[in-house]
Amino acid sequence: RDYSKTPEFAAVLYDRLGTSYYLAGQCEKALQTFDRALKYTPNNHAVLNNYAYLCIECLKDAQKALQPARLAVQLQPTRAEYLDTLALVLISAKQYAEGLEYADRAAKLGDSAPVQLHRAMALLELGRTEQAREAARKAGDLNPDPPTKASLEQLLPRLK
């Protein structure tokens, strides 16, 4: 269908459809759907953030995720979840110090288990093991969802 007269509706529709595909384990379809959403609304901060996250989770492609993650933060600089996505992208790109900066900003605005997990990852890579342990402990205390809990369990052996 042509949604050129209702681009915001298209963005919401494709954002929800893409999220559904992702949750169903259909990463390729999810990414294609977010690509469509971005064609209608290239500056939609929610779509940009979700697309960047999928580039990391599905493609393991930090370079592809970097521009949309940065733009989402530029458009909405006080959204903790966007700051956290950018932190994850930067950590995935081995830019640990900058990733930690964004994770710290996210923690100040809206702390969560994923934010603390990403802080722990960056801190560990920066050689700050004791602080990484504390961030991982805090992530565990913040009632992590199953994927965050699994990531924490994978990280724990490196924190000993």
CB neighbourhood size of 140 (10 A): 18
* CB neighbour list of residue 36: distance below 8 Å, 6 or more residues apart: 10, 14
> How far apart are the C-alpha atoms of 72 and 34, rounded to whole Å?
14
C-alpha Rg value of the chain to the nearest Å: 16
- Give the position of tokens 């697309």: 51
CA torsion 9-13-19-21 (nearest 10°) is -160
User: Which among 86, 14, 97, 11 is positioned nearest to 56, based on CA atoms?
Assistant: 86
pLDDT of res. 10: 92
Per-residue pLDDT of the chain (160 residues; tens, 9 = 90+): 788 899 999 999 999 999 999 999 999 999 999 999 999 999 999 999 999 999 999 999 999 999 999 999 999 999 999 999 999 999 999 999 999 999 999 999 999 999 999 999 999 999 999 999 999 999 999 999 999 999 999 999 999 8
pLDDT of res. 1: 78
